[in-house]
A and B are shown apart, each in its own frame.
Chain A
């Protein structure tokens, strides 16, 4: 199985690799800018991130060398492992910033909710592939994938990490809409979804989460409290003007006005220092990568490949869109990192693994049934 088909090498997706490299290099340079003044213990963060990248490259190599179709057999064991990790995180996890998301492995602090995103994509792609429905999915047919999504959703929301939990819901919704739904199902789902919002607001959201949404709607009401993130981020992005303040010259970032500037608000640092040109370049690179991912999906050799690629693309798209919209003040502050750009090993490895899957599918698009 590990024997490499020589033909595969001819089909290596250089376009995707180049796109990833561009974003990765920009991300690393930006990470240096946002963290070089930090006085943390141990290696500088950009070196750590570089290590994760190298490790991620190895993960990609491993992934592309195995035919993605094995996942059809591995999806439930993977799903089981994911649920187990999420439970462990809740039970013995490390608490950082008020939420319990981390499992300390000694050399690495794993955030199981990150790989959970990708594993959910694999699980849903497998399920939808297997479930043949001629006339489209009915409401009952969706019960199983809804449960499969609901379980990690609740575990992650309990941490609490509403951003990641919502992201799972978005991915579930995207993939479900992608496979054929009956119109009646769609209508019912829409109604349920809309009526769920006020109920969730009242019973499900914690006070701080409600506060965040209220602050988003009017950040100037609370400029030093919860509105601070949004205001400072908008100032950072806006003050970049056309060409930016120059590399390492951003005042909002370098002088600490910008919170979470190496993680969730990394884009703000970039936008401040590189202005409209740099920011537009980065956004275009992202969306090029995403659109290229759709191209991979449609050129896959089988339906599983299509579903899997689409799932990975929707995962990357939603993370990027939510993060960018958040730092530019279009969405409330929910902790969703910008893929490949925000610092964080778990997130980076998850996204690189997802991109590895895309390359895997791309490389095997001409393969026969063997």
Chain B
């Protein structure tokens, strides 16, 4: 190789060197400026905006997995659980873990007893999801399937079991309207302020106490901080915050009594309300037919919803607080209280009932066509004489009646901790003027006096009225919740009775009415004699509420009247008469007669109540069927 060219190369010429040196100096400046630029950029990224990028890198790598908290239990007044939680097992599929997905899915379909196309459809529907996200193939599998899958898990790569807490309804549709149900939080709810901490996909109470006491029941979600790689696959667990269970809700309800009431109402539409007269605590709140709570788990289908919406028995309506019915003769308690307190009648003053009363150019009939003959205050209530109440009503005027009815808590919401309560209507001349822009007609007062016409009440209102009349005149706010306790057993909140004030009417007047109501059940000619129990003195009042004007049904036998035109049957009652403890109000929609349709339900509940109280907790033997020779036929 050439030494020759090497020899040719001369040392650098000093003049040229000087020139090149100048350029090298320029190059050095360029290089130093570049280095400074890079270092400045480094400072800008790492120091000036470093915290921002540090946060971004944390967001990149940490995925927070939320763990649903077990919801608080719902218990009855004795501490017996009504609604708890149970684990729900779902089968999920992680395609990344399965080397041979087709074979696995085929095996799995057999175990799940599902058509393979169902599973494949679910997988196909989830193809848009990120790869790390498991696909749910089947929800809420039973124990047997669970065990099979766990045993075969080695041959089922990619198949996993996901556990989620879910509501467990220990008594089925027990008090379903009142406890309510859960559902996925809606978009509208998410925008509300008190749902600020919720996220889409969360379960929230949608109705009843599940909704009202949501903030106590929900608990605190747990958080699993997972480090994930760029594909979202879990690398390791960084921190685990266990979920904190929700608080337990101790209802005032009594499981035993509620079940007794629900059994007695089976096959009927209507409502049963049982209230402790001295506290306002509700022992029974039953609306029939019930909601099927299981159908609501995981969202109710449109067809199920439509079916309930169109059901003539209106299962969606909570009839205890949303059902507004004319109270019929039960309202005579209010009319009687007004009449005796206002001095319109004395206990001994009598009226003659000849079966009807002519007023204006109309004839107002008594339910007993032959008439009651001479009746005084007591007999009028016991036998529910319409003519007597037409007469006193006429003399009272509608506004006096309304004043007393309002003081008994009618015509307005009771303030119970439930949503969508209805207030009912107690008409007055001012009310009519405002509502219809018409003057009150005196004839209308006659209808109001016997609880017809414009008067509308809810079963809860009538129960509270009964309680107030027999407890010495205190109107309590109905309450459903006794206390709320934390998971560690500590009591967070107790609900003491709330008095809404005294009702109008002297103690003497109330005593007179109470005496008459005891007679309704216990004296000859009383309209609810079949309700009487051997060792407890019960008082009560029957009622029959006309659904349509009589002309629609005149001349028809009771059986031939179409269901929807049949009268509603009421019975409101209390016991023991000497020192009342509970009030029971029963409504049977289209049950026709208070005494025979609604009375036995109240009787069954009274019987059970006193059995429990006197220490006979075994389930009672079947109630003997009401005597066919019943002589009381409402009014």
Contact = CB atoms under 8 A, between A and B. Distances in A.
Contacts of A303: 12-13, 16, 20
B38 A310 contact: no
A290 B31 contact: yes
Given A238-B52, A241-B46, A284 B41 contact: no
A1 to B, nearest CB: 6
Interface string A54-92: 000000000000010110110000000000000000000
A325 B2 CA distance: 43
Contacts of B60: 232, 235, 251-252, 255, 257
A280 B42 contact: yes
A369 interface: yes
Contacts of A39: none
A304 B24 contact: no
A239 B50 contact: yes
Contact of A239 (B12, B32, B54): B54
A345 interface: no
Contacts of A368: 11
Contacts of B28: 291, 294
A237 B45 contact: yes
Contacts of A269: none
Contacts of B235: 255
B9 A72 contact: yes
A324 B42 CA distance: 10
A298 B20 contact: yes
A255 B227 contact: yes
Contacts of A236: 57
Interface in B4-20: 5-7, 9-13, 16-17, 19-20
A196 interface: no
A284 B2 contact: no
Contacts of A275: 46
Contact of A271 (B9, B31, B32, B46): B46
Contacts of B42: 237, 271, 276, 279-280, 283, 328
Contact of B12 (A238, A241, A291, A306): A306
A180 interface: yes
A302 interface: yes
Contact of A310 (B6, B7, B9, B24): B24
B2 A73 contact: yes
B537 to A, nearest CB: 79
Contacts of A297: 24
Nearest to A232: B60
A69 B51 CA distance: 53
A310 B12 CA distance: 15
A9 to B, nearest CB: 20
Nearest to A368: B11
B621 interface: no
Given A235-B57, A251-B57, A283-B35, A302 B41 contact: no
Given A287-B32, A298-B21, A256 B1 contact: no
A317 interface: yes
Interface string B46-82: 1101111110111011000000000000000000000
Contacts of B508: none
A82 to B, nearest CB: 19
B149 to A, nearest CB: 30
A294 B7 CA distance: 25
B3 interface: yes
Contact of B229 (A72, A256, A287, A313): A256
B34 interface: yes
A73 B16 CA distance: 23
A300 interface: yes
Interface in A290-337: 290-291, 294, 297-298, 300-306, 310, 313-314, 317, 321, 324-325, 328-330
A329 B5 CA distance: 47
Nearest to B228: A255
Given A256-B229, A321-B34, A328-B38, A276 B46 contact: yes
A301 B41 CA distance: 38
A1 B20 contact: no
A25 interface: no
Contacts of A67: 6
Interface residues of A, number: 59
B344 interface: no
B392 to A, nearest CB: 82
A257 B7 CA distance: 57
B27 A294 contact: yes
Nearest to B42: A279
Nearest to A279: B42
Nearest to A2: B1
A73 B1 contact: yes
B31 A291 contact: yes
B129 to A, nearest CB: 16
Interface in A232-247: 232, 234-242
The SS class assigned to the B binding surface is helix
B9 to A, nearest CB: 5
B231 interface: yes
B147 interface: no
B61 A251 contact: yes
Contact of B3 (A1, A177, A276, A298): A1
Interface in B208-240: 227-231, 235
Contacts of B56: 235, 238-239
A103 B129 CA distance: 40
B9 A240 contact: no
Nearest to B50: A241
A178 interface: yes
B43 interface: yes
B31 A70 contact: no
Contacts of B32: 287, 291
A370 interface: yes
A369 B9 contact: yes
A238 B55 CA distance: 10
A314 to B, nearest CB: 8
Instruction: Identify which of A276, A329, A368 gathers the most chain B CB atoms within 10 Å of its CB.
Output: A276
B19 A180 contact: yes
Contacts of A280: 39, 42
Interface string B323-359: 0000000000000000000000000000000000000
Nearest to A257: B230
B307 interface: no
Nearest to A237: B45
A330 B34 CA distance: 12
A283 B39 CA distance: 8
Instruction: Identify which of B11, B35, B231 gathers the most chain A CB atoms within 10 Å of its CB.
Output: B35
Contacts of B229: 255-257
Given A69-B6, A255-B61, A238 B45 contact: yes
A257 B62 CA distance: 12
Given A255-B235, A279-B42, A291-B31, A370 B7 contact: yes
Contacts of B16: 303
Contacts of B152: none
Given A73-B5, A251-B61, 17 more contacts: A69-B9, A180-B19, A234-B45, A238-B46, A238-B49, A241-B51, A255-B60, A256-B230, A276-B46, A287-B34, A291-B28, A298-B21, A303-B13, A310-B24, A328-B45, A329-B45, A369-B10
Interface of B: 1-3, 5-7, 9-13, 16-17, 19-21, 23-24, 27-28, 31-32, 34-35, 37-39, 41-43, 45-47, 49-54, 56-58, 60-61, 227-231, 235
List 3 tightest A-B contacts by C-beta distance, closest first: A238-B53, A239-B57, A256-B230
18 contacts: A69-B5, A70-B5, A178-B27, A234-B45, A237-B53, A251-B57, A255-B60, A271-B46, A283-B42, A290-B31, A294-B31, A297-B24, A298-B20, A302-B11, A303-B13, A317-B31, A321-B34, A328-B38
Interface of A: 1, 67, 69-70, 72-73, 174, 177-178, 180, 232, 234-242, 251-252, 255-257, 271-272, 275-276, 279-280, 283-284, 287, 290-291, 294, 297-298, 300-306, 310, 313-314, 317, 321, 324-325, 328-330, 368-370
